[in-house]
Amino acid sequence: MSNKIEVNVSSEVGKLEAVIVHTMGKEVENMTPENAERALYSDILNLPSAKKEFSQLKSVLQKTSKVFEVKDLLTDVLNNPKVKQNIIQSVCASVSGCDISDYLSSLTESELTRELIEGVVIERNNLSRFLNKQRFVIRPLHNFFFTRDASVSVYNNVLVSRMANRVRDRESLIMEAIFDYHPNFQTGTFSIDSTKPSCNKVSIEGGDVLIARDDILLIGIGARTSPEGVDFIIENLKSKKEKQHIIVQELPIDRESFIHLDMVFTLLNNNECMVYEPVILQPNRYKTIHITLDNGKVNLSEEINIIESLKKLGMDLKPIYCGGRVDLWNQEREQWHSGANFFSIGPGKIIGYGRNEYTIDELNKNGYDVIRAIDVAKDKVDLNNFNKYVVTIDGSELSRGGGGARCMTMPVLRKSPY
């Protein structure tokens, strides 16, 4: 593979060739029970345990594709003085009552990368700062290891997310700078101009955007992605010469485990998908809308569900049930711990949490060999010897952050699976 990567992702299951991840650091430790809710966590993670589990995911990815780290990419682009200054100005514009631009400008590129991600501690050198109850003047990016959220590859371009929670804006800023300026990537970015008042209601996050086929997007709307966010996508795609389909799935907003579409639906193979049945398949609960873009014209119609809508477009998918088919209790428990959130490294070759035993057993019943990530990492198992498999990573700690393998990966290059 050459150093220059032309971003191209036209499916969820095409053979993975390049992916971006972020190995979490002290930003995860810089959390207390008081700020956990603001950081969008329901609990505090133990960093050593979380990193050990994450290393299993990264090891499997490194066996099968080129893996980039956010920290390395950000440090590279900060070597460009113009980019460095623009990022500093943008970050400081969001900070009130404390001018730290000179301090940030004085840092080396690697030091600035660390501070932008792990947070900048308030220097208590005057009374107002001494009395300030906050610890950080620039808050840590606790959620950044969920790299899928801040940006998403859509065919040959990268959509830069407008996060539903302003505490995560810096993640999008960093990812946009990487794709705009890093020499390793050739792509175009499109993002929402947040300075326009009309964009106040617009939010869209990568966990809600799935690439079903080179002419089909699946987008969830709910707590993190708004209908106005989908309208933004429509405006950017309706000028395409080829007909484009967008299937929109309404999500419940009454539980944090439903924050993104990929928490209740992921594609596993050319003909299989993982579903959380109560949200995806039960009729008349949550709307499914099929949007067709053709020569600038936009048509909308309501569908029964995602699977039926895809079938009409020539994608006949067999649903595999998160938590198994028998017990609703097991389905609910395992969905809560990202049991529907799988990441594909090729058609029928997926990664997920081993803790979701009923889901893994259901995959096994459907022909997926079950392989432990730790055995792959130690070269005890050669994935090339298997046609269809699920690699299980330990996820007792990671899952408490509210996401799974798909959430922690941002693909930039896949082969077409067709």
Give per-residue burial for 333-362: e unless 16+ CB within 10 Å, then b.
ebbbbbbbbbbbbbbbbbbbbbbbebbbeb
State the CB neighbour count (10 A cutoff) for residue 121.
14
In the numeric block, which tokens belong to residue 70?
């956010």
268 falls within a domain: yes
Domain membership flag for residue 127: no
Q: Rounded to two decimals, what is the model's pTM?
A: 0.93
Structural domain span for residue 233: 5-38+47-86+139-414
Rounded to whole angstroms, the Cα distance separating 408 from 394 reads: 14
User: For 350-374, what is the mean pLDDT?
Assistant: 97
Residue 115 lies in a domain: no
In a domain? residue 123:
no
Q: Does residue 93 lie within any of the structural domains?
A: no
| pLDDT in the model for residue 31 | 63
CATH number at residue 51: 3.75.10.10
Count other Cβ atoms within 10 Å, centred on residue 171: 24
Q: Into how many domains does the chain fold?
A: 1
Length of the chain: 418
Q: Is residue 371 part of a domain?
A: yes
Please check whether residue 278 is in contact with residue 328, taking contact to mean a CB–CB distance below 8 angstroms.
yes
d(CA 359, CA 382): 23
Q: What is the mean pLDDT of the chain?
A: 91
pLDDT value, residue 418: 74
Mean pLDDT is lowest, of 23-32, 75-84, 216-225, for 23-32
For residue 128, what pLDDT is reported? 67
DSSP string, 351-418: EEETT-HHHHHHHHHTTPEEEEHHHHHTTSS-GGG-SSEEEEE--TTGGGGS--TTTT-EEEEE----
End-to-end CA distance of the chain: 21
Is residue 129 domain-resident?
A: no
244-271: pLDDT as tens digits? 999 999 999 877 778 999 999 999 999 9
> What value does the mean pLDDT take over residues 15-31?
91
d(C-alpha 277, C-alpha 292), whole Å:
26
Flag whether 251 is in a domain. Answer: yes
DSSP type of residue 197:
G
